């Protein structure tokens, strides 16, 4: 017995002196940090190994002994927090790209506009800085009438005196309406005889058919077509700049939420020459569906050089703060261009929506539908039911996404769950327009905006987004609004819908990956997934809730390559 014991001790000591068996050699090893894997709140990882742009290993202890080779780069996180890269559930990266070259006429905290005089000065400075000649367009974006001292939209009369020789286009912060001056109205052929288009409105002067300059929803489309675009060479430069902006906020996967065909071609070219540093999820605009299906029907769902034609986008209503979102009950305040029973209006008929929906469902293409008001959501749900009832074979995994779902009702959430739909919420509204919604809609409706908590408690997979350039692409600010739901005036709007920080992170990581049918590829720190990470200066799970928005992004890593560094 003694001999056997001595032999066992000798064997144990012999193996204890041997080096740890080497596993596959990593290109990178991150260690000595807090790793929030999003694979479960109880995970306590501190080290991650990367090889060939994918995650090789995740551990609670150092991975150096097992995976370090001569060329392995070991990065000491020094207690910082490593997360999966943020996945943008909905924004407009191509629109942001173009707007980078235009005048920012937003109110604080985005820019410095407080009144119409400030707008005029911003436009004048932009004109002079860019040597915009007579007859050329002057474009500004982001004005918000609810935050102006005048508490109204600008009109053509505000613009005409300073800009008599230039067409001027001011995009509302929502992107669903615009103000143009008299020169622009003449240029695009809008006058007192022009009828309102289906799903849109040309707002008139009091007691008159004369346009006042404000165009809403589909009435904006004709105006936008006349706006000048940067050259292809300029667009490539702007694409680089806007990707840098996204990366600076920890985003490794971006969305272009309503892509026209020319923009898709530009993104294809950028992808083919290696100019996409982010994954870009493209939603083809339904207005050009035939062209997309004819030329790229086989490309839907496929990822190619970081570009993926993810689905098709329908726009069923407008903006709640702009009072064009479609509700089942009226707004409580005056609505421009409407005299009574003002509920907003749908952009599409049920038949138009059904036509696009059926084409997508039959082709197995994921459908994304913009719907803010509960009236628009009713329209979508009724159309969905009628379309699937008419189909002999309905694909099992549609994952239809209702973008914004801003004022969804509890009974509608039950239908979301039944049909396995994904609401893509927009919690930034609580801060930016929460006070406005209280005034326009009343406490009951306003308090249930973006009901992330109710959805998660029901087992509905939901996401959260910034809708950039409607609000800044800042993901930590977005997380803060989901956790705090505090308005500009300091009111907590819908306390029962506040998320925990971990729940808030799910909505911008693994849930967003699921929304895009990419959960097997990204969204969490798991062996085999892409090495897409963000390094934060502080841990959002442990800082005070009101300080989450102040956390700094230190680095953003895409497939093992640093694409942003604060240093």
Q: Are residues 182 and 301 in the same domain?
A: no
Whether residue 360 is contained in a domain is answered as yes
Residue finishing a domain among 209, 225, 241 = 225
Q: What is the distance between the alpha carbons of residues 527 and 513, in angstroms, rounded to a whole number?
A: 16
What tokens appear for 452 in the block? Answer: 């992330």
Residue 305 pLDDT = 97
Q: What is the distance between the alpha carbons of residues 474 and 471, in angstroms, rounded to a whole number?
A: 8
Residue 7 pLDDT = 52
Q: 181, 398, 214, 232: which is closest to 322 by C-alpha? A: 214
Q: Are residues 368 and 320 in the same domain?
A: yes
Whether residue 486 is contained in a domain is answered as yes
| Under 8 Å between Cβ of 478 and 425 | no
Q: Are residues 214 and 245 in the same domain?
A: no
Strands (DSSP E) contained in 335-456 are 366-371, 401-404, 422-425
| Under 8 Å between Cβ of 356 and 289 | yes
Residue 42 pLDDT = 87
Whether residue 43 is contained in a domain is answered as no
pLDDT per residue of the chain (567 residues) written in tens, 0 to 9 = 445 544 544 444 333 333 345 789 999 999 999 999 999 998 899 999 999 999 999 999 999 999 999 999 999 999 999 999 999 999 999 999 999 889 999 999 999 999 999 999 999 999 999 999 999 999 999 999 999 999 999 999 999 999 999 999 999 999 899 999 999 999 999 999 999 999 899 999 999 999 999 999 999 988 888 888 889 999 999 999 999 999 999 999 999 999 999 999 999 999 999 999 999 999 999 999 999 999 999 999 999 999 999 999 999 999 999 999 999 999 999 998 898 999 999 999 999 999 999 999 999 999 999 999 999 999 999 999 999 999 999 998 999 999 999 999 999 999 999 999 999 999 999 999 999 999 999 999 999 999 999 999 999 999 999 999 999 999 999 999 999 999 999 999 999 999 999 999 999 999 999 999 999 999 999 999 999 999 999 999 999 999 999 999 999 999 999 999 997
| Under 8 Å between Cβ of 337 and 216 | yes
Q: How far is CA 544 from the centre of its chain?
A: 25
Give 103-139 as a DSSP string.
Answer: EE-PPTTTS---SHHHHHHHHHHHHHHTTPPTTS-EE
Pairing of strands 54-59, 47-51: antiparallel
Whether residue 8 is contained in a domain is answered as no
CATH number of the domain encompassing residue 470 = 3.20.20.140
Q: Are residues 354 and 466 in the same domain?
A: yes
Q: Are residues 384 and 254 in the same domain?
A: yes
Residue 191 pLDDT = 93
Residue 13 pLDDT = 39
Whether residue 425 is contained in a domain is answered as yes
Cα–Cα separations (whole angstroms), residue 517 to 207, 401, 475: 52, 11, 21
- The residues, any chain, with a CB within 8 Å of residue 394's CB and separated by 6 or more, are 361, 388
How many independent structural domains does the chain possess?
2
Give 182-249 as a DSSP string.
Answer: HHHHHHHT--TTPPPPTTEEEEE-TTSSSEEEEEEEHHHHHHHHTS----HHHHHHHHHHHHHHHHHT
Whether residue 420 is contained in a domain is answered as yes
Residue finishing a domain among 207, 225, 243 = 225
CATH number of the domain encompassing residue 116 = 3.10.310.70
Whether residue 186 is contained in a domain is answered as yes
Q: 261, 259, 275, 388: which is closest to 311 by C-alpha? A: 259
What size, in residues, is the chain?
A: 567
Q: Are residues 439 and 388 in the same domain?
A: yes
What tokens appear for 470 in the block? Answer: 């409607």
Q: What is the distance between the alpha carbons of residues 135 and 164, in angstroms, rounded to a whole number?
A: 9
Q: Are residues 324 and 437 in the same domain?
A: yes
SS3 479: helix
Q: Are residues 176 and 239 in the same domain?
A: no
Residue 225 pLDDT = 81
Q: Are residues 291 and 409 in the same domain?
A: yes
Q: Are residues 322 and 442 in the same domain?
A: yes
Domain of 209 in residue numbering reads as 102-225
Q: Are residues 214 and 255 in the same domain?
A: no
Residue finishing a domain among 182, 197, 225 = 225
Whether residue 237 is contained in a domain is answered as yes
| Under 8 Å between Cβ of 331 and 339 | no
Q: What is the distance between the alpha carbons of residues 271 and 252, in angstroms, rounded to a whole number?
A: 15
| Under 8 Å between Cβ of 107 and 147 | yes
Q: Are residues 268 and 293 in the same domain?
A: yes
| Under 8 Å between Cβ of 181 and 167 | yes
């Amino acid at each position: 017995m003694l001999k056997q014991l001595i032999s066992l001790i000798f064997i144990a000591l012999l193996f204890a002196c041997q080096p740890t068996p080497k596993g596959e050699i990593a290109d990178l090893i991150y260690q000595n940090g807090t790793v929030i894997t999003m694979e479960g709140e109880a995970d306590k990882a501190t080290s991650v190994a990367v090889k060939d742009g994918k995650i090789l290993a995740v551990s609670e202890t150092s991975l150096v002994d097992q995976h370090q080779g001569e060329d392995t780069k070991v990065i000491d996180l020094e207690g910082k927090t490593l997360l999966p890269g943020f996945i943008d559930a909905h924004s407009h990266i191509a629109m942001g790209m173009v707007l980078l070259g235009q005048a920012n006429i937003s109110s604080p905290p985005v820019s410095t506009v407080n009144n119409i005089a400030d707008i005029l000065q911003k436009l004048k400075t932009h004109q002079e800085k860019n040597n915009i000649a007579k007859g050329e367009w002057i474009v500004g974006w982001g004005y918000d009438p609810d935050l102006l001292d005048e508490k109204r939209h600008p009109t053509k009369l505000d613009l005409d005196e300073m800009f008599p020789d230039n067409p001027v286009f001011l995009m509302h912060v929502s992107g669903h309406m615009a103000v143009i001056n008299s020169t622009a109205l003449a240029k695009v052929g809008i006058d007192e005889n022009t009828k309102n288009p289906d799903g849109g409105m040309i707002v008139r002067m009091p007691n008159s058919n004369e346009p006042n300059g404000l165009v809403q929803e589909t009435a904006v489309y004709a105006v936008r077509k006349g706006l000048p675009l940067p050259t292809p060479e300029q667009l490539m430069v702007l694409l680089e700049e806007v990707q840098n902006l996204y990366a600076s906020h920890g985003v490794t996967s971006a969305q272009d939420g309503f892509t026209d065909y020319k923009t898709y071609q530009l993104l294809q070219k950028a992808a083919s020459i290696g100019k996409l540093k982010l994954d870009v999820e493209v939603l083809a605009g339904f207005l050009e569906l035939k062209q997309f299906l004819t030329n790229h029907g086989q490309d839907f769902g496929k990822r190619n050089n970081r570009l993926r034609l993810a689905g098709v986008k329908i726009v069923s209503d407008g903006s709640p703060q702009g009072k064009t979102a479609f509700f089942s009950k009226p707004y409580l305040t005056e609505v421009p261009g409407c005299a009574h029973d003002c509920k907003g209006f749908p952009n599409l008929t049920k038949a138009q929506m059904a036509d696009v929906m059926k084409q997508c469902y039959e082709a197995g293409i994921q459908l994304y539908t913009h719907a803010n008001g509960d009236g628009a959501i009713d329209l979508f749900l009724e159309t969905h039911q009628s379309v699937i009832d008419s189909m002999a074979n309905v694909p099992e995994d549609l994952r239809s996404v209702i973008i914004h779902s801003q004022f969804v009702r509890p009974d509608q959430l039950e239908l979301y769950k039944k049909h396995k739909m994904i609401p893509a919420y927009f919690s930034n509204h609580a801060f930016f327009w929460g006070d406005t919604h209280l005034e326009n809609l009343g406490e009951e409706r306003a308090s249930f905006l973006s009901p992330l908590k109710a959805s998660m408690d029901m087992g509905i997979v939901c996401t959260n987004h910034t809708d950039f350039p409607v609000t800044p692409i800042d993901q930590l600010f977005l997380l803060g609004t989901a956790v705090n739901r505090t308005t500009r005036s300091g009111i907590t709007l819908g306390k029962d819908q506040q998320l925990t920080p971990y729940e808030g992170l799910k909505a911008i990581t693994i849930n967003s990956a699921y929304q895009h049918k990419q959960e097997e590829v990204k969204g969490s720190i798991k062996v085999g997934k892409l090495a897409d990470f963000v390094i934060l200066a502080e841990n959002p799970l442990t800082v005070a809730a009101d300080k989450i928005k102040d956390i700094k992004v230190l680095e953003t890593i895409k497939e093992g390559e640093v694409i942003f560094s604060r240093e």
